[in-house]
A and B are shown apart, each in its own frame.
Chain A
């Protein structure tokens, strides 16, 4: 099968890879680049477990063709170690028991960080609506919603 050459920046580092046309970004990240913090829950764009940041915006890596990421800047859960908002969210997630098995957590955090930055005035209803594209089968969401609200409040 033909392969596509792709140059992209992942978590601040340049990567040059060759991908199959059918390969999705989540497989590229997890397989070739060994960044297994991005999880796969459905591979059809519904569950949000694979959410990463592409060019500063949360996106589903399972329905993003790796071959279309030439020139893209991608950030995965492994790439937020210096990020203040992510640090606050991690703290709040633990405090509010926003994770059980932890499988949805990386995707949730990437989405949550975007909410905090984009919607500083969001109330609970808005937070719930914004998080609706990320499924969690374990927690019933209460801790997750509370954690996001907590970080939002702390930044006001």
Chain B
């Protein structure tokens, strides 16, 4: 560890303020909250991937407790458009109208006093539909012979993008060329807490109060108001403790719209809690990519160009607010990775299929892209007979080129990418691994290097033209009469520990002890507008905004404190929770200042700032093209060539997230991301059959990594400050989930190299590894 503990401010591995309530079972999640007279909802969901919906026969006597779209007139459809040329926008009804487009799509809401009774109602409904052929294969989907999922479209694709660099001359000059066809599986994000919604109408305020498990309460508010035809003052979103999100809780839900509408109609609080079966069968909604990628390199391994045909299975609808094309369209911009790449030819398709709509999962497209690029680089290295380290060193952006603008216009802010690689490699005894290989052991070493753009803002997102382009982030800092500092932010923690880290930021500026700092978040009525917690942006954006608000507050505190000590402002400083004379030990505390403002205003100096001790300040880095954290992941994998089982023997991450506000929490983010990345690499897969039916209905089928699957990683940090952020901090929340598939499969392929076998598709499950070995034995590919 390179970080010293210092006090309670930025850089301290402070224990989390929020821990106590969770450790005592006092966390408050949506499912823990009830209201008098509350009704529970179970959804009747589509059992079929594609069909014309002809009707729903409600159970006799319960007609008034089952609601189809026709019973909820006036609620709007979800539309997430994009300004990218050629984007086809979908209309996602809150409840299916006349078409069913994926298994699990909600058709009717069944309402009862208990969830069990509501499920009974759903089970008693009779569904009438006419099945249509399911579009289940993203490669077939856009072809002209496929049935159209949205009738007015001309093909089953939300968007195609192209970059057309001329790579036709590379065959003639390259020392090596490789082509790989690669696939990542469809995944479920599977936070341990599912989604949940509790909607209630407050007749006094004429306000819809929706308590919902979301990462972005304000965006949900705007989207919900729009779909309900309410003004935004009539919607308040409360997001209590959120049991993990990872992107899954970053959208507007059809279920939120339906519950809110029901609460108005019925005059009763209405709650829906997603169960695991719903999650797995109706929300397998991330990661499914397909690549045909070709790379050319010279003798030293230097990349001459890359050509890529990428398809992403975007599912049936464009989700609000990020839309259906974020993932595929990002492929083209992320492919160069941390490397100097002279030429890129890339065609991407966001295919529309009869599967749940795609959502951005931790790492978004980076995990798949990193997998494609890193395994392709290793294939090149094998062909050139150079090491995996050498080919990366030949291509990584060197530190003296920073800040570096790459060929697609991404600007890397700072860092020493080759150093991260060198440190990771130095952490292993490679000779020992080579000796084991020579002795016939199927053990291998694999690397993945990548960078993660985080906290990118207006200048990046306006080009996407999504419904929410992030702008300035605001934070409110206010002192209460007893000197407690309240921070109000519109981002929302779902495990990141922001109640602690933002208190550390305030401590850094004002010196107020973190115990005396209260972070208020997760309530649109109490916090400034924000696009929320996503895109590894919270610590850069909310951290910057809190710092700015505290700085301005320090100015006001200093003015009052100086007056109380009868000296000029220039003679005092604010530190350690005090206003102190620079030339002596005389001070007044911030609490004294607060007491004076609120309770003894007769002692305030003339001309005092009438704004008092409450500041709303805004922040946006300049430039706002995003921070780039980066990392090298290195894995040692052992393969059992008889069973195909893979064991991770060792794993090293060298990571640079700039200034680490709380190193302990950063480690936790990296570790958690790593576990998810291991899931992507080795275990997690939601297979669909030819009828578009999801085949993993329980957590015994959909395998999440457990304690024995995640090794005790060695984690090392570099701390190259970002020149563009308040403390030099960089967004790092997604990083851990990006590198593992590349590093692990490279290690597997290294282990299998002597057999001439290579794994192409994720997850590298025992059956896929065995298939690769058999294919090599049979001389196939």
* A interface residues with partner B (beta carbon < 8 Å): 20, 22-23, 30, 35-44, 46-47, 49, 76-78, 81, 90, 93-95, 97, 99-106, 109, 124, 127-129, 131-145
Contacts and interface: CB of A to CB of B under 8 A. Distances in A.
B276 A129 contact: no
Contacts of B19: 93-94, 99, 102
Interface in B705-723: 706-708, 710, 712-713
Contact of A109 (B23, B191, B192): B23
A142 B710 contact: yes
Given A40-B31, A90-B23, A97-B668, A145 B707 contact: yes
Contacts of A104: 192
A101 B28 CA distance: 11
B25 A77 contact: yes
Contacts of B494: 101
Interface of B: 15-16, 18-29, 31-32, 116, 190-193, 241-244, 246, 275-276, 494-497, 664-665, 667-668, 671-676, 698-700, 704, 706-708, 710, 712-713, 736
10 contacts: A38-B25, A39-B29, A44-B698, A78-B24, A90-B24, A102-B243, A132-B707, A135-B192, A140-B674, A141-B675
A44 to B, nearest CB: 5
What are the 10 closest A-B residue pairs judged by CB atoms, nearest first? A37-B25, A102-B22, A103-B243, A140-B671, A100-B495, A77-B25, A101-B495, A36-B32, A140-B675, A46-B699
B668 A101 contact: no
A101 B712 contact: no
B683 to A, nearest CB: 12
Contacts of B496: 100
Contacts of A144: 707
Nearest to A42: B276
Given A41-B192, A42-B276, A20 B22 contact: no
Contact of A39 (B193, B706, B712): B193
Q: Chain B contact residues: over half helix, strand or loop, or mixed?
A: loop
A94 B18 CA distance: 10
Contacts of B675: 136-137, 139-141
A68 to B, nearest CB: 17
Nearest to A144: B707
Of the listed residues B22, B699, B713, the one surrounded by the most CB atoms of chain A closer than 10 A to its CB is: B22
Given A94-B16, A137-B676, A139-B675, 16 more contacts: A39-B31, A44-B700, A93-B19, A95-B15, A100-B244, A100-B496, A101-B243, A103-B191, A131-B706, A136-B192, A137-B246, A137-B675, A138-B192, A138-B495, A139-B668, A145-B712
Contact of A100 (B15, B21, B23, B497): B497
Contacts of A99: 19, 22-23
A128 B675 CA distance: 14
Contacts of A76: 25
Contacts of A105: 22-23, 27
A47 B241 CA distance: 19
Nearest to B241: A102
B443 to A, nearest CB: 19
Given A39-B193, A99-B22, A105-B22, A135 B244 contact: no
A100 B668 contact: yes
Contacts of B26: 37
Nearest to A89: B23
Given A100-B497, A142-B671, A42 B707 contact: no
Nearest to A47: B699
Given A42-B276, A136-B192, A77 B707 contact: no
Contacts of B31: 30, 36, 39-40
Contact of A20 (B116, B246, B497): B116
A43 B193 CA distance: 12
Contact of B665 (A38, A93, A97, A133): A97
Contacts of A141: 671, 675, 706-707, 710
Contacts of A81: 24
Given A30-B32, A42-B698, A101 B242 contact: yes
A26 B674 CA distance: 31
Given A36-B32, A90-B24, A128 B707 contact: yes
Contacts of A138: 192, 244, 495, 668, 672
Nearest to B679: A137
Contacts of A30: 31-32
Contacts of B667: 97
A40 B673 CA distance: 23
B712 A124 contact: yes
Contacts of B672: 100, 137-140
B241 A101 contact: yes
A105 B29 CA distance: 13
Nearest to A107: B192
B583 to A, nearest CB: 41
Nearest to A87: B23
Given A37-B26, A100-B496, A100-B672, A142 B713 contact: yes
Contacts of B15: 94-95, 97
A46 to B, nearest CB: 4
A140 B276 CA distance: 21
Contacts of A42: 276, 698-699
